[in-house]
A and B are shown apart, each in its own frame.
Chain A
């Protein structure tokens, strides 16, 4: 979703001569923030937090350059 939005926003900012676009930017920031909270909640309900925790609790040999 954000992939196509970002270039659009960049162009909008350059065109901006007043605060109207800045308000739109704030709105997009808020929408993305809400989307992120939704994704985190979905992840929490589908056990992804536990999955992340399990990965974090075992030594990742690749991460430290041993794998």
Chain B
């Protein structure tokens, strides 16, 4: 299953970012595909991006609520959440793939769960994604996507290519970009030691999807009648969860490692017999 997941992650990354040549031209791809919200975190200001980031689009809308709620963006997020939950994180997110690849680098590994640090992503969601764009728009008439502006490492990667190959934009790079670059480098270094630190502790999109993990149509089911409580699934879980007691926990990214390791076949994706 892990091989299938990796292939899906690579294909998804390419589908989200097919215009690779744009990376070296310092300009965005423009076209009607940008009207489509992709499920995972993928900045629409990345030169190679074909679609729009749901989180960025949501913040843009919240920062300009005079035009009304963008039901299309809200509906898209709800659609992915109700259908997949955090399956999106495990299978359909390019930044998740990047972190997983970095985790494969031989480096001292930290296997602690950091349970309470997991709440940080909800703080990010409430403060930077929802509250700040709204408050700023009330104060100044027009808000900005605060999470994208101050934190989002995915946008920084796209920004690096834009700055590198576009002289006009390079002249505008200042302190905010330096801070964002430090955050990006910090996350990438942590990714070598901790499995998916951004997804576990920071990502607000993962926080939204996580809230729907227990009611999403694609989820993991645990058969108590066949389970022997051997603990193999808990050892296999890269998110440091116990699939027996915390099945479909908000932090579960549905990577399926517990399913493939379970010797009794007690864990399955819904719909699988």
Contacts and interface: CB of A to CB of B under 8 A. Distances in A.
Say whether A and B bind each other: yes
Nearest to B250: A10
B104 interface: no
B149 interface: yes
Contacts of B60: 55, 60
B79 A57 contact: no
B177 A66 contact: yes
Interface in A38-64: 38-44, 46, 48-53, 55-64
Nearest to B83: A33
B75 A52 contact: no
Main SS class of interface, A: helix
Interface string B41-68: 0011100010110001100100000011
A32 B75 contact: no
A6 B72 contact: no
B226 interface: no
Contacts of B57: 52, 55-56
Interface size of A as a range? 35 or more
Nearest to B156: A65
A62 B159 contact: no
A10 B214 contact: yes
A53 B156 contact: no
B34 interface: yes
A64 B43 CA distance: 8
B155 A64 contact: yes
Contacts of A50: 35
Contacts of B144: 62, 67
B205 interface: no
B70 A59 contact: no
Given A48-B70, A57-B31, A62 B148 contact: yes
A52 B173 contact: no
Interface of A: 2, 6, 9-10, 13, 22, 25-26, 28-30, 32-33, 35-44, 46, 48-53, 55-67
Interface of B: 28, 30-32, 34-35, 37, 43-45, 49, 51-52, 56-57, 60, 67-68, 70-76, 78-79, 81-83, 144-145, 148-149, 152, 155-156, 158-159, 162-163, 169, 172-174, 176-177, 179-181, 211-212, 214-217, 221
14 contacts: A6-B215, A33-B79, A35-B75, A48-B71, A48-B72, A48-B73, A53-B35, A57-B31, A60-B44, A61-B172, A63-B158, A64-B155, A64-B169, A65-B176
